[in-house]
Amino acid sequence: MIVYPAIDLRRGRVVRLTEGRFEAETAYHDDPVAVARGFKAAGAAWLHLVDLDGAKDPTQRQTRLVAEIVRAAGLRVQSGGGVREEAHVRALLDAGVERVIVGSLAVKQPALVGAWLESFGPEKIVLALDVRLAAGVPLIAVAGWQADSGVTLDATLRTFLPRGLRHILCTDISRDGKLTGPNFALYAALRRDFPTLAVQASGGVSSLADLRRLQAEGAPGAIVGRALYENRFTLKEALAVPSFSES
CATH code: domain of residue 39: 3.20.20.70
Q: Three-class SS string for the chain?
A: CEEEEEEEEECCEEEEEECCEEEEEEEEECCHHHHHHHHHHHCCCEEEEEEHHHHHCHHHCCHHHHHHHHHHHCCEEEEECCCCCHHHHHHHHHCCCCEEEECCHHHHCHHHHHHHHHHHCCCCEEEECCEEEECCEEEEEECCCCEEEEEEHHHHHHHHHHHCCCEEEEEEHHHCCCCCCCCHHHHHHHHHHCCCCEEEEECCCCCHHHHHHHHHCCCCEEEECHHHHCCCCCHHHHHCCCCCCCC
pLDDT in the model for residue 91: 96
- Asked whether residue 3 carries a pLDDT value surpassing 60, the answer given is yes
Catalytic residue numbers read 8, 130
pLDDT in the model for residue 185: 93
For range 149-170, the mean pLDDT: 94
Distance, CA of 117 to CA of 10 (rounded, Å): 28
Q: Has residue 174 been placed in a domain? A: yes
Instruction: Tell me which residue range forms the domain holding 139.
Output: 2-239
Band of pLDDT at residue 111, cut at 50, 70 and 90: very high
pLDDT in the model for residue 136: 87
How many percent of the chain have pLDDT more than 70?
Answer: 92
Band of pLDDT at residue 106, cut at 50, 70 and 90: very high
Q: What is the mean pLDDT of the chain?
A: 91
Number of domains in the chain: 1
Provide the pairing of β-strand 76-80 with 46-51.
parallel
pLDDT in the model for residue 230: 93
pLDDT in the model for residue 6: 96
pTM: 0.92
Distance, CA of 171 to CA of 182 (rounded, Å): 9
pLDDT in the model for residue 107: 93
Distance, CA of 182 to CA of 173 (rounded, Å): 10
Q: pLDDT tens digits, residue range 56-75? A: 888 889 999 999 999 999 99
pLDDT in the model for residue 58: 84
Q: Has residue 246 been placed in a domain? A: no
Q: pLDDT tens digits, residue range 179-214? A: 778 999 999 999 999 999 999 999 889 999 999 999
pLDDT in the model for residue 78: 98
Q: Has residue 207 been placed in a domain? A: yes
Q: Has residue 149 been placed in a domain? A: yes
CA dist 123 → 74, 100, 101, 118 (Å): 19, 9, 11, 10
Instruction: Provide the residue type at 101 as one letter.
Output: I
Apex 120 CA angle, 44 and 106, nearest 5? 85
Q: Has residue 93 been placed in a domain? A: yes
Q: Has residue 18 been placed in a domain? A: yes
Q: Has residue 200 been placed in a domain? A: yes
pLDDT in the model for residue 31: 97
